[in-house]
Structure 1
Amino acid sequence: MMWTKCLCLLWALSALCAPVNKQRQRMLLISFDGFRWDYDRDVDTPNLDQMAMDGVKAQYITPPYLTITSPTHFTLLTGLYVENHGVIHNMWFNTTTTEKKPYYQTLFVNEWWDNGSLPIWITAQRQGLKAGSLHFPGTSSSYQGEVAMVREVEPILYNYKNETAWRENSDKVMGWFRDQDLDFVSMYFGEPDGTGHRYGPDSPERQEMVKQVDRTVGYIRHLAETHGLTNSLNIIVTADHGMSNVYRNGLVEEITLSAIPGFSFRDIAFHLVDFGPSGMLLPKPGKLETVYSALKGAHPHLHVYKKEDMPEHLHFAKNDRILPIILWADPGYVINGYFPVQFHKGEHGFDNQEMDMKPFFRAAGPAFRKNLEVGPFESVNIYPLMCHILGIEPEVNDGHLNATRNMLVTSTGTRGENRSILQNTLTGIAAVAGFLAVVFVVVTSRQILKRKRKDKRSGSVQHLPEEENTKQTGF
């Protein structure tokens, strides 16, 4: 009877400790290149506004430095600062041959991307999930021999402004979730960056492009509903960097390195300038101090640093790919080499603390709280947030879940949480089983001792043969 009660107790405790089957969580990460944090303030954006009511809106986020497309996007995928993930520029380059590849060609230089860091696609797949990517920087590369299981890279000379193509790509990605049962997809749109460059961030053209972005967000959320994904799909909409006006036509004294007294390109073995407000220089042997001294303080809006002296908040020094001298300009200025060659009205690549460089952030889905506005946070923190929602163990990264945990509902059901519940359950059952084993030993010992005392008190030997016979029969 006692043993029966113990078994019932074990069963009851096991039932109470059993893990709850929680709702599956999927993730769609969307980047609209160059969407500054305040672009919705001078444009009617009903779909982005509705997404904020249905989920979370951040005041803004802070991207890593260097605030250009490929480095900042790879931070979203890895949670690492640029010096730690190694994709330090939009352009692959070779300082020995002085060869450079433009942005699109660099997308296909595998070793530029695969240099020790794993994007979230690979981490998710290694832990049993299914992942894909469409047009996101880094999609074409393999990482330690692995690729996203479903992927698409935009063709050369792709029209990033075409709204019809935006809808087709949205249909395609939602089809991946529904028909191929994907858990994670990263999706990239090349606007409003291009429009901001050409016409400037304050232009009517940029405002119209923001309306197109808003329509697309509404279309994607509508697709999620019609595809039956509302209860499982979490959507994060963000960007890589912001955009700032460039001043020209005599409004400012432009920065042109060749015009600076004491500076000569004959002292330079390799350079990355003429590509916006940031640049890097590799002086020839023995010329580091000459170059640095000539440039330091040469223009009131030009910042010049030796690699080892870079401000800590930029996290742009501890990587062999970063060249010995780093330059960047204040907002409104660009860095020209031999002579001015840049004619954009808008630029990015400035210090990541500048407000014009801050992107926007929206998130909605079953994992997120509703109608919540949060303060600013760094974009490195988006990676651990996504990993947590997907229930996967993140790679080593520079982000912190505590920076975004307040966005989540308490009942967020992730595989990671279920694993934790299961581990706790097994531990609890093991403890109960151990306790019951002790109870069994104690109860059995007491019964044996009680029988011996009874036999001793009776002093009778009449039962011995019968007991002996019983044992023999049982044998």
Structure 2
Amino acid sequence: MKIAQLNAIELSIFIRKPLVVLSFDGFKRSYTKNKSVKTLEHMAKCGTTAEYMYGVYPTKTFPNHYTIATGLYPESHGIVDNVFFEKQFKNRFAKIRQENDEKYSNVLPVVNWLGLPASKRPALIMTYFDQPDAKVTTEMKNVEMVLSYLFETLYKMEILNCINIIVLSDHDKMMETVEQLKCFNNTHYRMYDRYRIPKRYHFSMSNRIGDIILDGQLGTTFYQNYAADYNKTHDHGYDYILPSMHTIFYAYGPNIARGLITKPFQNIELFNLMIALLNINSNVAPSNNGTKGRLNSVLDGILLEKPKRVTPLDDCDGDNDEQAIHENFCLFGLSLLVSGYGEMCYVSNCSSASESALIQKLDSIHGVALVERINADSSVVKTELQNESIGWIETSLSAKGANDLKVYLHSNFAKGHFANLQEITSYYAKVYNEIVVISGPIYDFSNNGTFTDPLTQIHPQYNTTPTHIFRAIFRCNNSDWLEGEMKCENTKSLHALSFILPNAPDDYNCLARGFISFLQDSLSYLIANTARLRDIELLTGLEFLPSSWTSEEELYDDDFSLTLRTMMPEHLWLEKKLK
């Protein structure tokens, strides 16, 4: 193919900047450490890169590429694996990959499309390269050849600075029934159903997902039988928070910030970034699972819409006088840490034994969340079984014994994983001297990962019975909490660790074995069930770190707020000391 050349007139009307997205299959973030791909080094210096990027679960090629293109989780866009079974049509979907066409197997078509006149030139070009999935050392050289050819050619055509370019990868690599599989071997795999699988996987809503999910631990690969083992030395699909699953993100162009290194983010956020780069009105763009504004810091020279925020919480008694609230409310400024949709309000408890506030709906006595300030002197709650024959416990979700928020939990869960959560919360209070803890129930009966009004989900005998409980723990890193207020002396020192635990009668993987010396099984369960603050927001109607209602009250800027709310916990605090 001959490379098309643009004349001066064409260059002058290069008003709409095309977006080129290049995806390299299985490009591990650690591959960049030896700096063998010089073009990526150039992009990082003159554009934007991320510390690393997360894929979605499962970290397979086709689910992740569809997520990159749509901004949707696999449970939403329907491509839940490289191979899957569609129950409705009784079809096995396989070989989604089309036969290779040599004329599209290199970067030359991209160059030619960019050289077309404005009326024929694509605004968006997305292309996939299967290296470095197979032979890393050799293919890294091929990656550099592809990228250097593209950049040098666009430079010679004098249009390099007219094109926004994103380079990323889809995933990284690593080389009877329930009763038969239950607790069989949690070293090699974990078994879940769609109600017990960690919420942060977002892998439960689609009917294309099996009734039983075997989540292989790193290095485990499943085959139907020995004959089906194709002796593949590299595999993927594992938990995306594992370092060996981290992927790359580089961006360069006239609308890309220079010299920026962003915090890690998940590839569901790419869609909104691409929409902005294509100058498409976000109000008419398809809805997606990304969080609007998360990657706004990557953009340069584009008019940005400020993310919409919720209004602050009011006192349920209707007392809105700021001075009166400050004098009578021990957690003054609570709404700077958490607020909520659906006309929520708070009831404070400022007794000598408690510094807490219950968030509830205006028209309901049912609690949405309990906010507590906990110090090193607070003790963990010990819950007694009240009706063992039925298997339920009326349990306070308080981390220090308050009775403000009670729900019914399965007794095994209350005595097992929930008790372990209480223990580790108490441990953090002692280590960090003071923490703020927000806990509450989740009612995801439809299993779609979004907020369900608990008033419509009353258990016929035992009050409200949540499907999950959540907890968000906040601390000030190298800073202290301001006395009587819900903010750190150094605003940007706020750290968060959050969990969503299924309220299930049993654990298919038998990991609830108590926190004697913080057993590894108990720790691994909590790590698996960490969650983003954003996941809790979607399931409860709460919103954390609302940044501004008036200029005087702006505490957290949008970038800090959105980054912390979408941050994926990869490990527990002080994890090495816990083990």
Tell me if 1:354 matches 2:294.
Answer: no
Q: 1:377 to 1:52 in 2, by over 3 A?
A: same
Structure 1 residue 206, shift from structure 2 partner? 0.6
2:78 maps to which residue? 86
In structure 2, C-alpha distance between the alignment counterparts of 1:169 and 1:207, rounded to whole Å: 26
Structure 1 residue 157, shift from structure 2 partner? 5.3
Contact 2:25 2:171 in 1 (8 A): yes
1:295 maps to which residue? 181
Tell me if 1:166 matches 2:56.
Answer: no
1:57 maps to which residue? 49
2:429 maps to which residue? none
Structure 1 residue 208, shift from structure 2 partner? 2.0
Contact 1:22 1:413 in 2 (8 A): no
In structure 2, C-alpha distance between the alignment counterparts of 1:244 and 1:29, rounded to whole Å: 25
1:344 maps to which residue? 232
In structure 1, C-alpha distance between the alignment counterparts of 2:88 and 2:43, rounded to whole Å: 49
Q: Which has the greater radius of gyration?
A: 1
Structure 1 residue 47, shift from structure 2 partner? 1.1
Structure 1 residue 64, shift from structure 2 partner? 0.7
Structure 1 residue 180, shift from structure 2 partner? 2.1
In structure 2, C-alpha distance between the alignment counterparts of 1:192 and 1:318, rounded to whole Å: 32
* 1:336-390 Cα distance to aligned partner (Å, 9 max, x none): 3332613111100111221211110100001111122122111111100110121
1:388 maps to which residue? 276
Secondary structure of the 2:230 match is coil
2:128 maps to which residue? 188
Q: 1:320 to 1:94 in 2, by over 3 A?
A: closer
Q: 1:413 to 1:221 in 2, by over 3 A?
A: farther
Secondary structure of the 2:178 match is helix
Tell me if 1:243 matches 2:168.
Answer: no
Tell me if 1:404 matches 2:295.
Answer: yes
Secondary structure of the 1:386 match is helix
Contact 2:35 2:41 in 1 (8 A): no
Structure 1 residue 167, shift from structure 2 partner? 4.1
In structure 2, C-alpha distance between the alignment counterparts of 1:184 and 1:97, rounded to whole Å: 33
Identify the range of structure 1 (335-344 vs 398-407) with the bigger mean alpha-carbon deviation.
335-344
Secondary structure of the 1:235 match is strand
In structure 2, C-alpha distance between the alignment counterparts of 1:296 and 1:366, rounded to whole Å: 54
2:569 maps to which residue? none
1:371 maps to which residue? 259
Q: 1:75 to 1:334 in 2, by over 3 A?
A: same
1:470 maps to which residue? none
Secondary structure of the 2:146 match is helix
| Equivalent residue letter for 2:302 | T
In structure 2, C-alpha distance between the alignment counterparts of 1:177 and 1:64, rounded to whole Å: 37
* 1:172-199 Cα distance to aligned partner (Å, 9 max, x none): 4434576822211111111112x1xxxx
Q: 1:94 to 1:378 in 2, by over 3 A?
A: closer
2:136 maps to which residue? 206
| Equivalent residue letter for 2:57 | Y
In structure 2, C-alpha distance between the alignment counterparts of 1:332 and 1:240, rounded to whole Å: 19
| Percent identical residues | 26
Contact 2:55 2:246 in 1 (8 A): yes
Secondary structure of the 2:63 match is helix
1:456 maps to which residue? none
2:510 maps to which residue? none
Contact 2:63 2:81 in 1 (8 A): yes
Structure 1 residue 391, shift from structure 2 partner? 1.4
Structure 2: gaps (5+ residues): 1-12, 307-579
Contact 2:106 2:146 in 1 (8 A): yes
Instruction: State TM-score, norm by structure 2.
Output: 0.47
Secondary structure of the 1:309 match is coil
Secondary structure of the 2:226 match is coil
Structure 1 residue 212, shift from structure 2 partner? 1.1
> Which one of 205, 208, 213 corresponds to residue 318 of structure 1?
205
In structure 2, C-alpha distance between the alignment counterparts of 1:48 and 1:225, rounded to whole Å: 16
Q: 1:370 to 1:94 in 2, by over 3 A?
A: closer
In structure 1, C-alpha distance between the alignment counterparts of 2:78 and 2:197, rounded to whole Å: 16
Q: 1:295 to 1:84 in 2, by over 3 A?
A: same
2:159 maps to which residue? 229
Structure 1 residue 28, shift from structure 2 partner? 0.8
Q: Which structure has greater helix proportion?
A: 1
- Root mean square deviation of aligned Cα: 2.7
> Which one of 134, 137, 145 corresponds to residue 215 of structure 1?
145
Number of residue pairs the alignment of both structures matches: 289
Contact 2:18 2:278 in 1 (8 A): yes
2:521 maps to which residue? none
1:459 maps to which residue? none
In structure 2, C-alpha distance between the alignment counterparts of 1:78 and 1:309, rounded to whole Å: 26
In structure 2, C-alpha distance between the alignment counterparts of 1:26 and 1:171, rounded to whole Å: 12
| Equivalent residue letter for 1:35 | F
Q: 1:77 to 1:228 in 2, by over 3 A?
A: same
| Equivalent residue letter for 1:400 | T
Contact 2:269 2:290 in 1 (8 A): yes
Contact 1:59 1:375 in 2 (8 A): yes
Contact 1:25 1:413 in 2 (8 A): no
Q: 1:327 to 1:172 in 2, by over 3 A?
A: farther
Contact 2:111 2:154 in 1 (8 A): no
In structure 2, C-alpha distance between the alignment counterparts of 1:230 and 1:301, rounded to whole Å: 48
Secondary structure of the 1:323 match is coil
In structure 2, C-alpha distance between the alignment counterparts of 1:368 and 1:96, rounded to whole Å: 44
Secondary structure of the 2:219 match is coil
Contact 1:35 1:360 in 2 (8 A): yes
In structure 2, C-alpha distance between the alignment counterparts of 1:296 and 1:383, rounded to whole Å: 38
Contact 2:54 2:265 in 1 (8 A): yes
| Equivalent residue letter for 1:331 | L
In structure 2, C-alpha distance between the alignment counterparts of 1:337 and 1:371, rounded to whole Å: 48
Contact 1:48 1:218 in 2 (8 A): no
Structure 1 residue 321, shift from structure 2 partner? 1.5
Contact 1:296 1:304 in 2 (8 A): yes
Instruction: State TM-score, norm by structure 1.
Output: 0.56
Secondary structure of the 2:251 match is strand
1:333 maps to which residue? 220
Tell me if 1:46 matches 2:38.
Answer: yes
Contact 1:328 1:335 in 2 (8 A): no
* 1:248-289 Cα distance to aligned partner (Å, 9 max, x none): xxxxxxxxxxxxxxx4xxxxxxxxxxxxxxxxxxxxxxxxxx
Structure 1 residue 99, shift from structure 2 partner? 4.7
| Equivalent residue letter for 1:208 | T
Contact 1:292 1:325 in 2 (8 A): yes
Contact 1:43 1:211 in 2 (8 A): no
Aligned structure 1 segments of 4 or more residues deviating by more than 4 angstroms: 94-99, 176-179
In structure 2, C-alpha distance between the alignment counterparts of 1:306 and 1:294, rounded to whole Å: 14
* 1:24-57 Cα distance to aligned partner (Å, 9 max, x none): 3321111111111111113522111111111011
